[in-house]
Amino acid sequence: MKRGNTVKNLFLFLILILLLPCSIFALDTYYSPIAHSTDGISADVYFGESGSNILKASSGLNGLEVNISQYNLPDDFGEFISGNVTTMGFQWQIIPEITPIPAIAIGVKDILAHVSKESSFYAVITKDISVIDPSYTLSKFQLSLGYGTNSLNGFFGSANIDIKDRFYISAEAFNREFNWGCGIKIMDFIKAGYMNFDKHSYIGASASFSF
């Protein structure tokens, strides 16, 4: 039954992102937002312990984003999110990243207030930092810093590192939560890997397509 529900949720989720009007997709680290936005659609699928799974999708255009996440978790499974929870959010990228100015965005997460008692509003900046690396090991080093209410509960930050344009390491901290993950980029628009979210392990894949 759990597998049937998972397949059904995934099918409905993929239909949803195809039906969404072209807004804009930004890539959250794991829960905390970053300010970068590009035209296109994105979908993430993670499978974890005890039949848990997390489905995420976002779509966007010209700095305006809509996103949705479905958490299918056992009751009392996590400290941050438990049970079956659906979240929706919107983001507006005010300024794209232009050297030396970082990208700046504002938005709202969990607009239906299913994670926290109220919607979570935030502002975030993101900067890709050029690193002098004679070995060319680090192909990207990205830092984000922001402030949010309710589920984000104050300052939050994240780091995303690409290694030789093939491997990635990501980490975020917010509201006394620390999540991290790593994996491999199979193609420019597809990656697969491990995620440690809310102190539980997941494996999954992500796909992003630009218009």
**pLDDT tens, position by position, for the chain (211 residues)?**
455 555 555 555 554 444 444 333 356 899 999 998 767 888 899 999 999 999 999 888 888 999 999 999 999 898 899 999 999 999 999 999 888 899 999 999 999 999 999 999 999 999 988 766 667 777 788 999 999 999 999 999 999 998 888 899 999 999 999 999 999 988 878 899 999 999 999 999 998 877 6
How many CA atoms, within 13 angstroms, populate the side-chain half-sphere of residue 130? Answer: 5
Distances (CA, A) of 107 to 36, 75, 121, 175, 202: 12, 29, 6, 17, 27
Give Dmax over CA atoms of the chain in angstroms.
Answer: 53
Per domain, the residue ranges of the chain are 2-210
Name the residue among 151, 55, 73 with its Cα closest to residue 112. Answer: 151
Residue 185 CB neighbour total at 10 angstroms: 18
Q: Which tokens is 13 given?
A: 């989720």
| CA 4 from centre of chain | 25
CATH architecture for segment(s) 2-210: Beta Barrel (2.40)
Closest CA to 42 of 73, 20, 71, 11: 20
Distances (CA, A) of 78 to 3, 73, 102, 115, 187: 20, 8, 34, 12, 32
This prediction's pTM:
0.83
